[in-house]
Amino acid sequence: MRLTPLTDLEAGSTSHRLAWLAAGADGAPVGSAYLRLFTREGQRHLAELQIAVHGAELRRGVGSRLLEAAVAAARAEGRRSVIAQAEAGSPADLFLAARGFRRVLTLTYARLPLAEADLMAVEKRARRPCPGYRLTEWDGTVPAELAQSYAGSRRAMDDMPMEDTDFGTVVWDVERVVGAAEAVARRGELLHTVAAMDVSDGSVVGFSELVVPGDGRGDAQHYGTAVLPEHRGRGLARWMKAASILRARERHPLLAGLLTDTAQSNAPMLAVNDALGYVPTHQAVEYQLDL
């Protein structure tokens, strides 16, 4: 077996990736690894690892060789921590646990099957007003007049439960908000955002993002739902997410479902998902290797 370093041409404004391809003696690919190196202030200590090994090649040392190359590169890049995710109980789960990674976070994945969802109940929640607030929405990049306020509202994610993960600090400004939306568009996907606004000053105090496949089919993915700490406890997260569900159903009737993932320790958001009909599908474990 041999490893070939690859060039990843998709360098972004917040990270870039290193990659390796593992091939057998006959040159056929048997596995790959990607190491994402975060480059923004507050996360330059961190790298994120993804390893994939062909099912027929498991337990033949392919994953170990790829891991060695990626860890060596992370050290050479001056990284402090490497994180990786695996489905609970999978071969990858066992692989990471056996190689010095420690569990730092458990995520619950859930899906709302739109054909079976109680959309009348969702609509009732979406239409019920929250006194002192109103909803607004947009597709793609945030409108210029809301950009600064929306970027400021991203601090609602600062206290998102990350348990023991050495995730660092993500600083959101207008440039990063716009860049994230543009990245979704370059992939050919559709970003739809519902935001809650304080009617007293017109500021954005919460948001719920949904990314829909470009053809409007299959499953869409919730990217984030959060409310600023000083505005929590008023039902805004459920209100925004319900509105997002309705809009997705109206605009993309061929969508099959909506996907979301939530830290197991985030009881309020798990309760929101449960109330709106999301059904847990599996759990994943976030691992971390301290270098």
Lowest-confidence segment of 15-24, 141-150, 152-161, 277-286 by average pLDDT: 152-161
Query: What are the tens digits of pLDDT across the range 17-39?
Result: 999 999 998 889 999 999 999 99
Query: Residues of CATH 3.40.630.30 domain(s) within the chain?
Result: 2-79, 111-280
Looking at residues 255-268, what average pLDDT do you find? 95
Lowest mean pLDDT among 58-72, 129-143, 157-171: 157-171
pLDDT at position 55 over 90: no
Supply the pLDDT for residue 138.
97
Tell me if 243 sits within 8 A of 137, measured CB to CB: yes
pLDDT over 80 (residue 112): yes
Residue 139 has pLDDT above 70, yes or no: yes
Q: Report the pLDDT value the prediction gives residue 161, as an integer from 0 to 100.
A: 67
CATH architecture for residues 2-79: 3-Layer(aba) Sandwich (3.40)
- Domain 111-280 listed as CATH 3.40.630.30: yes
pLDDT for the residue 13: 73
Concatenating the DSSP letter of every residue in 49-109 gives: EEEEE-GGGTTTTHHHHHHHHHHHHHHHTT-SEEEEEEETTSHHHHHHHTTT-EEEEEEEE
Model pTM score: 0.87
